[in-house]
Amino acid sequence: MFLLCGILAAAGLLLQSPNWSTAALLGIALWSFCRWYYFMFYVVEHYVDPAFRFAGLGSFLAYLWRRKKSQ
């Protein structure tokens, strides 16, 4: 479903403004967000609590929430 939403959003942007600069900026934005997510997940997994297995950044936020409530 996320893949379909991403494809439809990218197609909509390219249909609204069909030029190479829009396509390049869209590609750079997509690549940047993917790298940011990977970096954040790497930092959380290796430096926050290496013993805990996080399923994603949402799992990390839930971990922080539970930890804050228990203190």
Q: Tell me which residue has tokens 């390049």.
A: 24
Q: Residues 6 or more apart from 41 whose CB is under 8 A from it?
A: 54, 56, 57
How far apart CA 41 and CA 7 sit, in angstroms, is 24
Write down the residue that tokens 């069909």 correspond to: 18
DSSP code at position 40:
H
For 36-45, the CB contacts below 8 A with 24+ separation are: none
Instruction: Let me know: does 41 contact 54? Beta carbons within 8 Å.
Output: yes
Overall pTM > 0.95: no
Instruction: Report pLDDT digits (tens) over 11-65.
Output: 999 999 999 999 999 999 999 999 998 888 888 888 888 888 888 888 888 988 9
Q: What integer pLDDT is reported at residue 52 of this predicted model?
A: 83
